[in-house]
Amino acid sequence: MERTLSIIKPDAVAKNCIGKIIDRFETAGLKVVGARMMHLSRAEAEGFYAVHKERPFFKDLVDFMVSGPVLVQVLEGDNAIAKNRELMGATDPKKAAPGTIRADFADSIDANAVHGSDSAENAASEIAFFFPSNWIFSR
């Protein structure tokens, strides 16, 4: 059993697609074991994406992530990290495989609907960033 961090980003929340995206997770056998809706501060968004702070797209990424509320979740299941990445599809929705979340709900490489942890190490630190251990309800 593995856990990963998922964020339904401001574009998908604004488009009223929270339920449709969570349905993808649940249908694939991932369980939502933690969830919080937040409007990230700039400091929170910069801290969360600190690994990208030297990248040319960092400012656009932070601007986008603070542009509206998000739904932050902990997903749990077999192979949760890879399974979530597979469900999400490629970062650029134009390159995302048909039937993936980004192919179906994302508008651009910036407004790309979802975040998912990309490694076990990052999943652990990203979950700890948003969730004290007693905010996670393993089932």
Binding site for ligand RTP (CB under 6 A): 52, 57, 61, 91, 109-110, 112, 115-116, 118
By CB under 5 A, which span of 1-9, 76-84, 93-101, 116-124 interacts with Mg ion?
116-124
Q: Is 115 a catalytic site residue? A: yes
Q: Which residues contact 103 (CB under 8 A, 6 or more apart)?
A: 89, 93, 96, 97
Interface positions, 5-24, toward Mg ion (CB under 5 A): none
Least distance in angstroms from the C-beta of 91 to Mg ion: 7
By CB under 5 A, which span of 34-42, 55-63, 96-104, 113-121 interacts with Mg ion?
113-121
Residues carrying an active site annotation: 115
